[in-house]
Structure 1
Amino acid sequence: MTTTLRRERVILTESFDLPLARRAAFRLFTARGERLWVAGWSPEFFADIADDLAIGTVFRTYDDSGRATTWVVVDCELGHRLRYARVVDEVNAGTVEVTLEDIENGCRIAVTYDLTSTDPDSDAALRLFADGYGPFIRTWAEMIQIHLDAGGPLPDSI
């Protein structure tokens, strides 16, 4: 017997441009690379790894309220695309995909969240996240640009 629970699901995509070649920007979206531009981003790895882009790499982060998110690298096309599975226990689960393409003066980053609520009490929060997704992704562009303008370091190019 199969049971289907009726939960909210959202698939959200937004993009922004950066004044960097995609190969230079790519590692900004890895577990370690995001530490450069996301305040408080501090991934914890469950195993020693040399490359945080290796398929199967598992790490955990915490939001401002202390709630844990577990991430798994599920796909990576170096320099072009990476995809993570992510689970916030009793809240939501799904994937996050980042794709990069070259454009005339840099690269275009597209970020897709495909999330499903895993608890009835989380449906409204997922709808709220969806409503604010555009501004949320625009903060990524702003934070990266602030980092670049301040002369912040970049991870190694792909």
Structure 2
Amino acid sequence: MDSIARHHSIRLPMAADAALPLFTPLGEREWIAEWDPVFLYPEDGHTCEGMAFETVHGGVHAIWTCARWQPDRHAAKYVRVAPGSHLAVIDVACAAMGDAETEVSVAYRLTALSAAGDRYLAEITEAAFAQMIGGWRALLATRYGFG
């Protein structure tokens, strides 16, 4: 089985306090059309350590938890398991670049759980990951009207 690490950053024209909530399960529902988490705990979906939810996104069923929630530090860590495929540990950190700009760093550590997971990881090249995270910025810009 294989394991890979990927990292990419984007800049958003907003304060870090406003940026971090966009990268929560409820926040992503606002700007990713096909993102529809089913909340197991807490049922209202507010982000907290130990929360649990499920998604089907891009044809992949996954079970998630929030392993670290530090809004005062503008940081979160999520763990996602796609049964029979892979495990992902996802770190999101928002760093203020002034009053109205934030650098959002997204880091994934992906570990294959099967041959299918190895194939999935092989598709997540550095370029593909950068394109995915850059695509998030484009979706956010469209939804919230910034360039």
With structure 1 as the length reference, what TM-score do the two structures score?
0.84
Measured on the aligned residues, the alpha-carbon RMSD in Å equals 1.6
Equivalent-residue separation in structure 1 for 2:69 and 2:140 (angstroms) = 21
SS at match of 2:14: coil
Aligned residue for 1:134?
Answer: 130
Q: Which has the larger radius of gyration?
A: 1
Equivalent-residue separation in structure 2 for 1:53 and 1:135 (angstroms) = 26
Q: Determine what percentage of the aligned residue pairs are the same residue.
A: 24
Shift in alpha-carbon separation, 1:62–1:96, aligned structure 2, 3 A: same
- Given that 2:89 and 2:108 are in contact with CA atoms closer than 8 Å, whether structure 1 keeps it comes out as yes
Which AA in structure 2 matches 1:147? R
Equivalent-residue separation in structure 2 for 1:122 and 1:49 (angstroms) = 30
Equivalent-residue separation in structure 2 for 1:95 and 1:8 (angstroms) = 14
Aligned residue for 1:113?
Answer: 108
SS at match of 1:23: helix
Higher strand share: 2
Which AA in structure 1 matches 2:106? V
Shift in alpha-carbon separation, 1:44–1:51, aligned structure 2, 3 A: closer
SS at match of 1:46: strand
Shift in alpha-carbon separation, 1:130–1:52, aligned structure 2, 3 A: farther
Q: Of 85, 91, 102, which aligns to 1:91?
A: 85
SS at match of 2:47: coil
Q: Of 60, 67, 74, which aligns to 2:67?
A: 74
With structure 2 as the length reference, what TM-score do the two structures score?
0.90
Equivalent-residue separation in structure 1 for 2:41 and 2:9 (angstroms) = 32
Q: CA deviation at 1:122?
A: 2.4
Q: CA deviation at 1:49?
A: 4.1
SS at match of 2:77: strand
Structure 2: gaps spanning 5 or more residues: none
Which AA in structure 1 matches 2:141? Q
- Given that 1:10 and 1:130 are in contact with CA atoms closer than 8 Å, whether structure 2 keeps it comes out as no
Aligned length: 143
Q: CA deviation at 1:47?
A: 3.2
Cα offsets for 1:46-95 (capped at 9, x unmatched): 13445622110000110232x31111000011151000010001110021
Which AA in structure 1 matches 2:112? S
Aligned residue for 1:154?
Answer: none
Equivalent-residue separation in structure 1 for 2:61 and 2:28 (angstroms) = 17
Equivalent-residue separation in structure 1 for 2:137 and 2:19 (angstroms) = 12
